[in-house]
Structure 1
Amino acid sequence: MPETLKAVQDMTDEAPVTDVTETFIQWQDLLNELKEKVSDRFELRPDPSTDGLKSFGEDGGPRGSLAGYTGPEVDWMIHSWVGDPEHGFVNLHLTVWLGPHVRVPHLGLALLCWPGGWFYLDSVPRTSLVADGEYYDRYYAPAEEEWLAVREEYEDLSWFTSRTGFIRGSLSPTAYCYSMPRDERHVELVRRLMHDQVDRWLGWVDAAEPVAAEERETLAASDLAIRRNIVERDPANVMAVRYFGEQVTDRLVRALWGGDRSLPRPS
């Protein structure tokens, strides 16, 4: 299988200027569909700290939108995009970090054009998979067969290897993290995988056993540390600095992990 080793900014800089608006709209529609599924299941409230980020940037240039949500069962959900689709770059996210009442993996979804296609899909673990074999068997082992089948069938997928070791270490064994052509076949693959993942994840939440009350504070602290580290160490943050400057990027990064949140975390 091919492998992508270049950084996001290098892929964008080395490619010809390409209008990716068509794929951007497809990615937006997909994440809207998935967000609706999540919103139908959970009670969610927009956090006031992200009200000023619902729309930023300039029409026809670098711009974006970011909204943070929380609720009784959801610690922090982000629905966002940033980029300049007319000139070949967009980055979209839907991430859902659960409260400490269950140990179900968090949901991580991301889509990108640079100007080729790229997608990320993962169940973010909340324990050591090597130490907790039962957790692996419950949430990850059932995905192994399809994960391998996709790698074998879709020869145009190129595994994305981050140049940052910390980010490589954040992926679970069944994560999808691929560059790909932006054609109908691959877009439909991503659509199917993401809808299946969200449906499966919602089933996990419904079937989960509650975490003991005395263990929830420790779990919540671990969740926050993982989320903050992943967001702050994301090498793609350099694209936001390029488009919006350090000050706006710092605010966007804090919003992604909930650093300025107004509403309390679920207990």
Structure 2
Amino acid sequence: MSGSSAQTKTIHEFLAESPDVDSSELWAQFWEILSEAKDRITAELPVQPHPSSAGLDYWATDDASYEGAMNTFAGEPAADGPHAEWLVHSWIGNRKNSILDMNLQVWLGPEVDVPHLIIVFGTIPQIFFYSEFVSRRDLMVETDYLAKYYEPQNESFLQLRGDDRFTWSVSHGTYMRAFLSPVAHSYVAERTEDVVETLREVVRERVDTWLGWVREATAVPEAERAALRQRDHQVRTYGYTLDPMNELSKKFLGAERVEELVAVRAGFQQMEETA
């Protein structure tokens, strides 16, 4: 197989090759990594469970072919600094049948313009890893913002990009490719302990970096905050609703149930509350 075909291979193709691989152990490892990151973040940016995900802390279909957990949280604006407006800690899939999609996503309020944070683990059944600092500005013209947040990450990005254990994974969704920043991680790798431990360190480094940005952030002028929040909410909406993974979930859950879960995950109710 050529490198290009490995990079553009669909999740459906990966699953068709190995449809019944038990990923329970990897689920436990990845959930531990995501939970540790969540705890570190919420220690500095307090949040409360959001009622929209009540009852979804664990769910499964009647035949147990698909399962998951949806934990959503919202923070209150702080008088003296930034807050986490929306935080999602979730997973969906089947731990015994190859496929998992596990997420930690933190969306900041408009008091600062620090990039948002996304960390995703999955099994297809190979390991999938995606991590992103979601830009709040137009990087093609706001080069000061690019230099402040993205240029310092260039070396660590290139280090992982050049690691032969990791194959670049190309989303088949054009919006999801437009979503990528210059330092996004999007990889498939073999199911080995050394890969897991490498990714554990990548996540810790990203969280360290991100929390440092949050601590040192300068305030966005009051007059600019409404427009920044509106843009954030648009990006949040499209990032969840246009994710090609939704189409895969519809095969297991049906379109109506997937749309319900996407609405909770994206935080449509929370957006309305803060509009």
TM tier, shorter chain?
over 0.9
Distance in 2, matches of 1:144 and 1:261, equals 34
- TM-score scaled by length of structure 2: 0.92
- Greater shift, 220-229 or 237-246, is seen at 237-246
Superposed displacement of residue 263, structure 1 = 8.5
Q: Which amino acid aligns with 1:50?
A: S
1:208 is aligned to 2:217: yes
- Kindly indicate whether the alpha-carbon contact (under 8 Å) linking 2:87 and 2:106 is maintained by their aligned counterparts in 1: yes
Task: List, as ranges, runs of 4+ consecutive aligned residues in structure 1 with deviation greater than 4 Å.
Answer: none
- CA offset digits 1:99-154 (Å, max 9, x no partner): 000000000110000100010011000011111111111111011111112222x2
SS of the equivalent of 1:261 reads helix
Gaps of 5+ in 1: none
Aligned to 1:98: 108
Superposed displacement of residue 70, structure 1 = 0.8
- CA offset digits 1:202-258 (Å, max 9, x no partner): 110110101111110000000000111111110011222122222211111111211
Distance in 2, matches of 1:189 and 1:89, equals 21
Aligned to 2:253: 244
SS of the equivalent of 2:254 reads helix
- Alpha-carbon RMSD across the aligned residues, in angstroms, is 1.7
- Kindly indicate whether the alpha-carbon contact (under 8 Å) linking 1:57 and 1:244 is maintained by their aligned counterparts in 2: no
Aligned to 1:17: 20
Distance in 2, matches of 1:205 and 1:92, equals 24
Distance in 1, matches of 2:123 and 2:27, equals 8
Distance in 2, matches of 1:129 and 1:115, equals 34
Q: How does 1:154-233 map to 2 (within 5 A)?
A: 154-233=163-242
- Kindly indicate whether the alpha-carbon contact (under 8 Å) linking 1:45 and 1:70 is maintained by their aligned counterparts in 2: yes
Superposed displacement of residue 262, structure 1 = 8.5
Distance in 2, matches of 1:78 and 1:6, equals 28
Q: How does 1:1-267 map to 2 (within 5 A)?
A: 2=3, 3-58=6-61, 60-71=64-75, 72=77, 73-152=83-162, 154-261=163-270, 264-265=273-274
Gaps of 5+ in 2: 78-82
Distance in 1, matches of 2:118 and 2:219, equals 22
Superposed displacement of residue 16, structure 1 = 4.1
- CA offset digits 1:43-81 (Å, max 9, x no partner): 201110111322211485311000111112112110000
Higher relative contact order (CA 8 A, sep 6+): 1
- Kindly indicate whether the alpha-carbon contact (under 8 Å) linking 2:233 and 2:271 is maintained by their aligned counterparts in 1: no
SS of the equivalent of 1:25 reads helix
Superposed displacement of residue 6, structure 1 = 2.1
- Kindly indicate whether the alpha-carbon contact (under 8 Å) linking 1:4 and 1:159 is maintained by their aligned counterparts in 2: yes
Distance in 2, matches of 1:260 and 1:216, equals 20
Number of residue pairs aligned between Structure 1 and Structure 2: 265
SS of the equivalent of 1:52 reads coil
Distance in 1, matches of 2:151 and 2:214, equals 17
Superposed displacement of residue 9, structure 1 = 2.4
